[in-house]
Amino acid sequence: MTKPSSMLIGVVSDTHGLLRPELLPALAGVDHILHAGDVGDPTILTELSRIAPVTAIRGNIDTHGPCSLLPATEAIELAGSLIYILHSLDDLDLNPQAASISVVVYGHSHKPSIEHRQGVLYLNPGSAGPRRFNLPITYARLRIQNGQPQAEMLPLLP
């Protein structure tokens, strides 16, 4: 089976049990969805999986029930890029560059961020769940083309 050389990936985090109605149409057409923890309700993952395959990890609120069974971290190869997912960047216990990781996806802070460090893309999609302080409600799209990742941040609410 030939691996695709191009993929569009939806990236969300910190839903905290709230599946905003704007999220599903925003993710329509993606090839895969990554959820960087604090899911809060497993039905969110079920709904997201109706759009595309989902890779999810648990966050610090996912301590009981089905979400507690999610892994703390995950590494997945999509379109020739190795992606490492964890909830809090403070828990990163490996050198992504040395591990040939192209993208580190994380959440926890609810602060959207796209940053490049030493050839690695660090992506925090922000929070797609309840508003925290004055932070925006966002998600991200990650496009991988010929092994090259590019991210864009998108608002879910004005």
Segment 113-125, tens digit of pLDDT: 999 999 999 999 9
Phi then psi for residue 48, to 5 deg, are: -65, -35
Give the pLDDT of residue 5: 82
Which architecture, in CATH terms, is 6-155? 4-Layer Sandwich (3.60)
Domain residue ranges of the chain, discontinuous segments joined by +: 6-155
Residues of the chain with pLDDT under 50: none
Give the pLDDT of residue 75: 97
CA 142 to chain centre: 9
Cβ neighbours around 90 below 10 Å, total: 10
For residue 147, give the nearest of 78, 98, 96 by alpha carbon: 78
Task: Decide: 70 and 49 in contact? Cβ < 8 Å.
Answer: no
Give the pLDDT of residue 158: 77
3-state secondary structure of 69: helix
Q: What is the DSSP string of 8-29?
A: EEEEE---TT---TTHHHHHTT
Cβ neighbours around 61 below 10 Å, total: 18
Segment 40-55, tens digit of pLDDT: 999 999 999 999 999 9
